[in-house]
Amino acid sequence: MDWLKDLAIEGIFGAVGLGLLLFQGTATAILLSRLIKGAVRRPPLMPKISTVDAKLEPLDRESHGVSVVVPTLNEVDRIAPCLTGLSQQGSEVREILIVDSNSQDGTRERVSAAAKLDNRFKLLTDDPLPAGWVGRPWALHYGYLSSSPQSEWILGIDADTQPQPGLVASLVDAAIEEGYDLVSLSPQFILKDPGEWWLQPALLMTLLYRFDSSGVRAQTPERVMANGQCFLCRRQVLEKLEGYTSAAGSFCDDVTLARNAAKQGFKVGFLDGAKVIRVRMYAGIAETWKEWGRSLDLKDATTRLELWGDLALLLLVQGLPLPLVLISWNWWSSSILTLQLAIGLNLFLVAIRFALLLAIYPSYYRGSVGVASALAETSVQKNRFSLSGLLFWLSPFADPLAVLRIFISAFQQPKQWRGRVY
């Protein structure tokens, strides 16, 4: 009877191995087809510095003028680097419209102070939020409607970003060179707390696994990726789309608008902007989990079928491999061929995941420590910096949590966002 029991166990594990090979093998083929495209993607944008000081000299606004729109709501603790970075942009920027939703924390005063140094800054107050609108797309829509009709481009910039000198000129040149009607950038992330360094790369990887890398050309409209932190669009495209109305109620309005534009035949691009724009999105692991995690499912811009397909892919190629390898390690010497092959496939997926850390490493700001700051740096800060670097390389161990967060978000509709209740 023991041999019958052993035969049944082998049959069960053989079936499990076959199932893993079938489903994970298919998902791995899809993943590899996307990752391979990254090998021939457009290189990261490089800053293009203007020789004209737009704050002091008359602006040459006749060609490719840009109106920058920055939506704000109680951003005083984060907006200073954004204002500084925008003031360093060249004469291609016609105006910088700060669309504020009645901030009460000093944001408006901070913007007014910047306007005294650079007359391109204009502080606007958007109208009360209409029914069916989310705050961010409404502020962007208001800014678009208030912008100069002479500007050929509208550039949406988030208040928590840190634009680097030469950003706008480089972005416009790339859009013209590639023939893009709408183009956005992936930024370089600024992380501080050790917990962020562990969880955030795992959450970022959920995007890389589902969509093509930044800089990849020829994307299908349904799979177009976009990032509203730096989102450049031709005015004539927004006119045909009726501004942001098609993304009015979306909590991922950037992707929603980009896909709507692509479906209407406009050329949409998503480029690597790590060298021209940085962002400090959230403070700490808890805020990263709560705030960023609830929008990464992109359900507002995705059909239910595509959403479930993405969730299945993430589970098979990102959420399961490392736990399966750790659990099944003792079965590596098993005589069950399908189980051995399944374990080997999961080892391959784990190897890919760790290798991709090298690919995304430039997307994280490490800073430069001068002699003075190095001398002043405490041992606690040094230890924290070393721990952060270690946790980044251990971020694949956060993959199951990251995938779980996407699943949770897929079943929930946000009820609060940036201080507003919906």
Domains in the chain (CATH in brackets) are 15-39+304-421 (no CATH), 66-201+212-297 (3.90.550.10)
Task: Give strand ranges (E) for 276-315.
Answer: 277-279
What pLDDT was estimated at residue 413? 82
Q: Which residues contact 360 (CB under 8 A, 6 or more apart)?
A: 201, 204, 205, 208
Strands (DSSP E) along 102-152, which ranges? 121-125
Distance CA 414, CA 4 (A): 53
Name the residue with tokens 């700001």.
365
pLDDT for residue 337: 77
- At residue 190, what is the residue type? I
> Which residues does the chain have with pLDDT short of 50?
7, 56-62, 369-381
153 is written with which tokens?
Answer: 């481009």
Can you give the pLDDT at residue 373? 38
Helical packing angle, 194-210 and 399-410, nearest 10°: 60
**In contact, 85 and 273? CB cutoff 8 Å:** no
> What is the pTM assigned to this prediction?
0.90
The dihedral built from the CA positions of residue 27, 32, 35 and 40, taken in this order, carries a sign that is: negative
For residue 329, the model assigns a pLDDT of 74
Assess contact for 391 and 198: CB atoms under 8 A: yes
pLDDT at position 2 is: 53
